[in-house]
Amino acid sequence: MQDFGEAFALAFGLVLSPTGDLLEIVGLSLRVSLTATAVACLLGLPLGALLAVTRFRGRGAVLVAINALMGLPPVVVGLLVYLNLSRAGPLGFLGLLYTPTAMIIAQTILITPIVAALSRQILEDLNAEYAEQFRSLCLGRWQSVQALLWDGRYALLTVGLAGFGRAVAEVGAVMIVGGNIDHLTRVMTTAIALETSKGELALALALGIVLMAIALGVNALVQSLRMSAERRNVYA
């Protein structure tokens, strides 16, 4: 067990001159979580928009279900994906277990409800303003959905960010379906868990610092995009 001071010093050293291993882990983390976020947005944003513009019997129940799914425990998602992808499972023939693809699938399932539920809320407010005008213009449902998604794009950036934040920070799902295999499925969170349990605090801390820097960087990027849009008053 290293003492804390030493661990911090080593950690900052690692961040400043990262090793190949560290870069590999960070790279895989970003690849998995960014892909999962992109897929979740592709599925969740149109779903959220569709829920915002449609009224049907049982809509309330669907909204409750989606809102509840926002709180899905990552380990449960991991377990369900594991059961499906394991050799004996229905999708075992794909041979995806313990691959980055399995991790992407698990994180996508985890964050799609978040993207759908939050975008539904934002777009429903926007739709309240547009709905009558759209009906007067006799727009089809798909045209309305497209218009809402485009006009809500800056607010929806935050939704994507929330999804990414959840994906990149979770450990339970990727641990179960990825297996934390060195050079193959080891990401920042699983590495932190492993290194901490081994007492290798420097590497764990270095990864933690990188993780927080990424979170900060992505937030700053989204914030500056929104602010520049507001300055141009596009999203007034």
Partner 1 sequence: MRDLVFPDVVPRTETDLMPLELEGVRLCLDGKAVLDGVDLRLEGTGCTVIMGPNGAGKSQLLKLIHGLKAPDAGRIEWNGRAAAAVTARQALVFQKPVLLRRSVAANVEFVLKARGRDRGLRNGLLEHVGLLDKARQPARQLSGGEAQRLMLGRALATEPEVLLLDEPTASLDPASVLAIERIILRARERGVKVILVTHDTGQARRMADEVVFLHRGRILEHVPADEFFPEPATSEARDYLNGRIVV
CB of 173 to partner 1, least distance (A): 36
234 forms part of the interface with partner 1 (CB under 8 A)? yes
DSSP for the chain?
A: ---HHHHHHHHHHHHHS--HHHHHHHHHHHHHHHHHHHHHHHHHHHHHHHHHH---TTHHHHHHHHHHHTT--HHHHHHHHHHHHSTTSTTGGG--TTSHHHHHHHHHHHHHHHHHHHHHHHHHHHHHHHHHHHHHTT--HHHHHHHHHHHTHHHHHHHHHHHHHHHHH--HHHHHHHTT-TTTT--HHHHHHHHHHHT-HHHHHHHHHHHHHHHHHHHHHHHHHHHHHHHTTTT-
Q: How far is the CB of 215 from partner 1 (least distance, A)?
A: 28
- The residue range among 65-73, 84-92, 126-134, 204-212 that interacts with partner 1, by the rule CB under 8 A, is 126-134
- Minimum CB distance to partner 1 smaller for 8 or for 130: 130
Give the residue, chosen from 56, 58, 88, 233, that forms a contact with partner 1 under the rule CB under 8 A.
233
Closest among 221, 53, 60 to 151, alpha carbons compared: 53
User: What's the closest the beta carbon of residue 150 comes to partner 1, in angstroms?
Assistant: 8
Q: Any idea of the CA torsion for 140, 142, 148, 153, to the nearest 10 degrees?
A: -150
Stretch that binds partner 1, among 103-111, 113-121, 162-170, 226-234 (CB under 8 A): 226-234
Q: Which of 135, 141, 183, 198 binds partner 1 (CB under 8 A)?
A: 135
Q: Is 69 in the site for partner 1 (CB under 8 A)?
A: no
Query: Quick one: which of 66, 72, 147, 171 contacts partner 1 (CB under 8 A)?
Result: 147
For partner 1, which is the closer residue by CB, 128 or 213? 128
CB nearer partner 1, residue 52 or residue 72: 52
For tokens 């605090």, the residue is 201
In the complex with partner 1, the residue whose CB is nearer, 8 or 134, is: 134
Query: Contact between 150 and partner 1 (CB under 8 A)?
Result: yes
Nearest to 100 by CA among 194, 34, 23: 34
Choose the binding region for partner 1 from 2-10, 117-125, 139-147, 185-193 (rule: CB under 8 A). Answer: 139-147
To partner 1, the closest distance from the beta carbon of 164 in angstroms equals 24
Q: Which residues bind partner 1 (CB under 8 A)?
A: 129-130, 132-133, 135-139, 143, 147, 150-151, 232-236
